[in-house]
Structure 1
């Protein structure tokens, strides 16, 4: 039996700066066996930097990280920009049977037969699944997973949740996936303003506790401010009296007053006494602030996106007839027929590697090597946000990369970047020094600056922090144009899409349902309790996400709480 209290990693006084900006300041914590830690925070707060420091990929400026020399760390990095040679080398380094077994469980069949051509055409999800298989194949003692669900389909997410339950060592997960964190972690580490805060429980527990902490801090701050104002008012009054006493002590006075012995001395003493009282109160206030100063709580980030679609076009904007696409060694889809109308929200739904990103490339005109027909209206303008943020020039600043030269465009771009949380300091830095989330925001600004009718979004929430995800969901719901999106964020897809293009059995077919309804349909048709359990867990995660964002006095809270408890009963019944 493993000792769950054994400390695996100890971090003491850790500090790290980049380009004179302190990212991590006096960080202290321990990671024990059995810990399931979610590392959260806004983009650019140093989450990936902390992971790299623990792994040993970069060096710290000050402090100490204690870990055993033979500790095997399985590190899944945030970027999926792996080269074919990297996969081939990694396959050679891990135990092949382990790798192939994990890959098969993730839906990657016959990896041992894959040749260089197959590895060259991997989707983002297939790359991630292969990388996960490699991490598990090294038999690590400690896992660090940086955004592990960004490209994963439902099969992959369920596999990962299941494997994490079986894994005995500690796990550090960097993620903005609310559903996934609720299912996997029991502690939250939050990075904010170069410091770290600790919370017990999963993501929903963290959100509730953080709101309570902020409310308490705000109350204590206002109480202290009122006390400071009271003391400062008293000091002003004493100073006023002191100044009068000083003036009186220098007056010559009338003839009768001059005859009074000690007239000036009396006012000198009075002035000195008042001066001492002012100094005493000032010292008392300073001591109080030195010992118990309460900072004003930082307000949650408010991120604003603003889209604009110009003019309603003809009803049907895209239509496919007998659309067929494959590679030499596999068929993606064939003889597929579907259409997309103006103003619809279409989710592309299917397992990793089924051809979702390939279809996007065909719609954009970037891939013309297909059979069949794909018609699109010449009158529509399409804006595309890809899942790859590595295509931005690393040596240029955000404004340079966006390519705007007119003063008005530059000012608008700067305003949008600021609204997305990229301040002047960040937009004047080379893109190569920005986090992946910050780079995604730069690409969003490029999209926002266009006038368009159709948005094609390939994993749009990847690398975005939670405030940005929630604001993007809200803004896209108000967009009047057409949206075509690939996303494995349960919340995002269910909230946004009302129709699907389903990739299944090498076919693409249009389904007039939301993702949740589509999955429920499979359960109703008698496919078994496993699918029913998945639906219930998705609903539980959705409700937990809503509960974490509303106050207990909200009328909606009680109804959601009852629904949550009912779903838990259903889950227990299904699990026997």
Structure 2
């Protein structure tokens, strides 16, 4: 059953037409992914559906009376007061109990006891988990999730995927996480140039189908161009004939009667044929197949660093704790120049803390962390709200790179990243979060570095930008330390890992997929071993029961009693070894 319809919706902000023609229907229980470039209007459409804003033209119809919509905003949209209201309701309702259960399941313990100081220090992952739990507990009919996996660790992403599979309502998900979209949606709604297009299937199918449609359109366009060129050739030929006929019709007819009339009629006929073909071309221009628009290309281009020395970071038995909370202890590893290493572990395990230690902003409680004094380090944080909202992109460029040569290089770089002249003159507050991330990446690229530390660089980046950044980092010859919850991105860019588990940091010499496969194999082997031990234990216990039954038939001192007693002791010993083993 259709629960929501959108017909010809348009929305503009000032002179900027964000949505030009949005058309779709949403059925009950559908799982839809909403995709598009940064600034395409995805969040605007979500706000229209939720009712925060109204369309300039067109209609948005909710077909079900009293339909409850839960809207997860991006984590930067929430304030301390918002979270305080979430955790401090103090009522005994089912919704409140469900909220506390969900937060506990997500690793957030006793949130009802958190004060303002604790809430003001929430990490991005904790903000997202709190907001998700609060919305989920309200039991909405429709869920709108705007970048729900930003800041979530792998465990949180998997939890959300599994919860969405059991959710019986309708979901509309704005996300640039390809793995998450593949696992959680069955239809893609794309916004491009303010116009919506529908694709069945998950993200991978959407990419394949979009490419197929582009290739098919390009083929038809090329065939059409051949036909147009044929008509243009005919028009040229007819015009030549017509010109000749007009010239002949003006000559004096000395030998043939009706000579001038013959060429006058012929010229008129040619002129009509020319007009007919010109009209045909004009019709093709209006109604024919348009040349497919080339996908926006975003270019990230890091200068290749000069390698100096071999090891760039070395940790020896380092430990770090905050109060009673131990992040890691007695951990040793090294990072060599040119290595591309992904950091893997749940939220709060100490990944960002390790970055702060490498940058010299915090120290280990014990042990030694050595960083090469020749290392030029660039660090991209998760925070995209630290850019001055009132300054334009050009202002930031001129402040950071006052020299004309540097400023010109920066402008060229931003142009390659999709920033036209108008966007460069916009204040930061008018840019989408993805556009702000691209500005920060541009600032990073302009620095001379041979160690890149990127903390969730794909947060807020659109799909095209993610894929291009992926390719750039794959060919980057410097050293890379990367935190990302995007499994596809992590696998494509890093061939080694620093794994945070059981309060230890361990270096693993394989990429994410290989590590995951080995972990699954190890888990399977452990399960099989456990099952085997349980089976052996059951056999031994049955043997013990049998021996006890037999030994009761004899008295101490009987030879049979002594034999069975020895067998009983041996079985007890085997059981003990099995349990300890």
TM range (shorter): 0.7 to 0.9
Are positions 1:61 and 2:59 aligned together?
no
Q: CA–CA distance in 1 between the matches of 2:143 and 2:526?
A: 31
How far the C-alpha of 1:431 sits from its partner, in A, is 1.8
How far the C-alpha of 1:283 sits from its partner, in A, is 2.1
| From 65, 70, 78, the counterpart of 1:74 | 70
The change in CA–CA distance for 1:79 and 1:413 in structure 2 (over 3 A counts) is farther
- 2:564 match: none
Q: CA–CA distance in 1 between the matches of 2:38 and 2:526?
A: 39
Are positions 1:474 and 2:471 aligned together?
yes
The change in CA–CA distance for 1:432 and 1:330 in structure 2 (over 3 A counts) is same
Q: Secondary structure at the match of 2:523?
A: coil
Q: CA–CA distance in 1 between the matches of 2:257 and 2:391?
A: 81
Task: Work out whether residues 399 and 413 of structure 1, in 8 Å CA contact, stay in contact via their aligned partners in 2.
Answer: no
1:39-92 Cα offsets, whole Å, 9 max, x none, are 112222211221122112233211111125632211112243533222111224
1:534-568 Cα offsets, whole Å, 9 max, x none, are xxxxxxxxxxxxxxxxxxxxxxxxxxxxxxxxxxx
1:397-449 Cα offsets, whole Å, 9 max, x none, are 21212323222222211211111122222222222111111111111111111
- 2:375 match: 380
Aligned residue pairs: how many?
Answer: 521
How far the C-alpha of 1:300 sits from its partner, in A, is 2.6
Are positions 1:158 and 2:158 aligned together?
yes
Task: Work out whether residues 123 and 357 of structure 1, in 8 Å CA contact, stay in contact via their aligned partners in 2.
Answer: no
Task: Work out whether residues 9 and 66 of structure 1, in 8 Å CA contact, stay in contact via their aligned partners in 2.
Answer: yes
Q: CA–CA distance in 1 between the matches of 2:367 and 2:121?
A: 21
- 1:229 match: 229
| 367-376 or 459-468: bigger deviation | 367-376
Task: Work out whether residues 37 and 188 of structure 1, in 8 Å CA contact, stay in contact via their aligned partners in 2.
Answer: yes
Q: CA–CA distance in 2 between the matches of 1:86 and 1:329?
A: 28
- 1:271 match: 267
Q: Which has the larger radius of gyration?
A: 2
- 2:575 match: none
Unpaired segments ≥5 residues, structure 2: 529-581
Are positions 1:501 and 2:501 aligned together?
no
Normalising to structure 1: TM-score of the pair?
0.85
Q: CA–CA distance in 1 between the matches of 2:360 and 2:243?
A: 81
Task: Work out whether residues 73 and 144 of structure 1, in 8 Å CA contact, stay in contact via their aligned partners in 2.
Answer: yes
- 2:282 match: 286
Q: CA–CA distance in 2 between the matches of 1:332 and 1:144?
A: 34
| 318-327 or 499-508: bigger deviation | 318-327
Task: Work out whether residues 341 and 494 of structure 2, in 8 Å CA contact, stay in contact via their aligned partners in 1.
Answer: yes
Unpaired segments ≥5 residues, structure 1: 532-576
- 2:386 match: 391
Q: CA–CA distance in 1 between the matches of 2:473 and 2:527?
A: 32
How far the C-alpha of 1:260 sits from its partner, in A, is 5.0
- 2:19 match: 24
Q: CA–CA distance in 2 between the matches of 1:482 and 1:260?
A: 91
Task: Work out whether residues 87 and 112 of structure 2, in 8 Å CA contact, stay in contact via their aligned partners in 1.
Answer: no
The change in CA–CA distance for 1:112 and 1:521 in structure 2 (over 3 A counts) is farther
How far the C-alpha of 1:295 sits from its partner, in A, is 0.5
Are positions 1:461 and 2:454 aligned together?
no
Task: Work out whether residues 309 and 451 of structure 1, in 8 Å CA contact, stay in contact via their aligned partners in 2.
Answer: no
- 2:238 match: 238
The equivalences for 1:276-425 within 5 A come to 276-290=272-286, 292-328=287-323, 330-367=325-362, 372-402=367-397, 403=399, 404-425=401-422
The CA RMSD over aligned residues, in Å, is 2.4
Q: CA–CA distance in 2 between the matches of 1:333 and 1:301?
A: 43
- 1:548 match: none
How far the C-alpha of 1:241 sits from its partner, in A, is 1.7
1:360-392 Cα offsets, whole Å, 9 max, x none, are 223223445855543322211111111211111
The change in CA–CA distance for 1:429 and 1:498 in structure 2 (over 3 A counts) is same
Task: Work out whether residues 126 and 353 of structure 1, in 8 Å CA contact, stay in contact via their aligned partners in 2.
Answer: no
Q: CA–CA distance in 1 between the matches of 2:343 and 2:39?
A: 30
Q: CA–CA distance in 2 between the matches of 1:461 and 1:107?
A: 24
The change in CA–CA distance for 1:266 and 1:520 in structure 2 (over 3 A counts) is closer
The equivalences for 1:47-126 within 5 A come to 47-67=42-62, 68=64, 70-80=66-76, 82-92=78-88, 95-126=95-126
Q: CA–CA distance in 2 between the matches of 1:10 and 1:519?
A: 42
How far the C-alpha of 1:123 sits from its partner, in A, is 2.2
Q: Secondary structure at the match of 1:172?
A: strand
- 1:547 match: none
Q: CA–CA distance in 2 between the matches of 1:234 and 1:518?
A: 66
